[in-house]
Structure 1
Amino acid sequence: MAARRGRGSASGALVAGAVLLWLVLLMEAVPAAEAGTTYFVGDDAGWGKNLDWWLAGKTFYAGDMLVFKYKKEFHDLTVVGGKGFRRCKVPRKLAVVMRTGYDQVTLRRGNNYFICGMPGHCDAGMKLAVKAW
């Protein structure tokens, strides 16, 4: 009569060890999801015009959060596409307009475009383009 292998057999332990090793290697190969970094646009000055100085030296990643602080009586935050950004125009569709004075936006991978939709503000330089990796 042939011997039966039970749960404690050497081949079962070998398979379990191989599966465990495979899972450990897989976890090391895939970076853990990390909470993104939070940035306050314009630092203490807040959301305003000509913010190229604020972008300098920063690298943004998908999942990072931008916080826009501004006086809601005078400004807004409008999320637009590249065309709306270049033309300083708020499209009738596909634009997200926020007016709280403390707006939080999570960056998506690629180009992210923001303008102030108040008349003349974007044309005066109140716009921001952020590339997230």
Structure 2
Amino acid sequence: MSGKITMAMAALFVVLAANVLQSTNGATYTVGDSTGWRVPANNDFYDDWADNKAFVVGDVLVFNFTTGQHDVAEVTETAYDACTTANTISTVSTGPARITLNRTGEFYFICAVPGHCSGGQKLNVEVRNGNNGTAAVPAPGPSPTTTPVATSPTTSTPPTAATPTSPGTSSPPPGTNSASSLVSTLSPVFFMAIALVLMC
């Protein structure tokens, strides 16, 4: 009897460990590949780089650049189009920068060094839900405890920021709770594993 319980507990551990690894692993993309994050030779370089990729929640973008020469600012769509830092969501100034795509929807990144964005150092990616590969789920609005930052009466609340994971970066935005999403992912597997233990 003790042997069956030990085997069942081992099976439970393997199932839970596999689920945790599956739910936390995302693909890692080096922005611009060997070119890295710099002012490109043509303005469409980063659009072309992103075109053939399917980004999903949990993927990581690595921006390779020299600290002090470039940075990565996540901005709103309006700021992206105008190459302005008026609506900056977060900025990473230490290279290389690793940014986790933590929600579905559009992400807009620019280099905030004057002249770099207008020279083509800007990237827009669309992030989809990786669970089923179907159309993107709209990003949730701000939580009731989030205080919107308005830059003008006509400016809407900026979207939730990506999670920077490089030293010297800002902390994750309010309202993101990776623990609760992990628990919701683990719950069905956990209960199936418990059922397996009880059947032994």
TM score, norm. by length of structure 1: 0.70
Q: Is residue 2:92 matched to residue 1:98? A: yes
Aligned CA RMSD, in angstroms, stands at 1.5
**How far off is 1:52 after superposition?**
2.3
Aligned residue runs from structure 1 range 105-120, under 5 A: 105-107=99-101, 108-120=103-115
Name the amino acid aligned to 2:125: V
Identity, % of aligned pairs? 39
What is the DSSP-based 3-state SS (H/G/I as helix, E as strand, rest coil) of the residue aligned with 1:36?
Answer: coil
**How far off is 1:54 after superposition?**
1.5
Deviations 1:60-95 (A, max 9, x none): 10111101001122111101111111111112x552
2:119 aligned residue (120, 124, 131): 124
Cα 1:118–1:94 shift into 2, 3 Å? closer
**Could you tell me how far apart the structure 2 residues matched to 1:111 and 1:69 are?**
21
What is the DSSP-based 3-state SS (H/G/I as helix, E as strand, rest coil) of the residue aligned with 1:78?
Answer: strand
Number of aligned positions between the proteins: 101
Instruction: Name the structure 2 match of 1:83.
Output: 78
Q: If you compute each CA radius of gyration, which structure gives the higher value, 1 or 2?
A: 1
**How far off is 1:33 after superposition?**
2.3
Contiguous gaps of at least 5 residues in structure 1: 1-31
What is the DSSP-based 3-state SS (H/G/I as helix, E as strand, rest coil) of the residue aligned with 2:66?
Answer: coil
Cα 1:94–1:125 shift into 2, 3 Å? closer
**Could you tell me how far apart the structure 2 residues matched to 1:83 and 1:56 are?**
21
Aligned residue runs from structure 1 range 1-133, under 5 A: 33-48=23-38, 49=40, 50-91=45-86, 94-107=88-101, 108-133=103-128
What is the DSSP-based 3-state SS (H/G/I as helix, E as strand, rest coil) of the residue aligned with 1:85?
Answer: helix
Instruction: Name the structure 2 match of 1:4.
Output: none
TM score, norm. by length of structure 2: 0.48
Q: Which has the higher helix share?
A: 2
The answer to which of 122-131 and 66-75 deviates more is: 66-75
Q: Which has the higher strand share?
A: 1
Return structure 1 stretches of 4+ with deviation > 6 angstroms: none
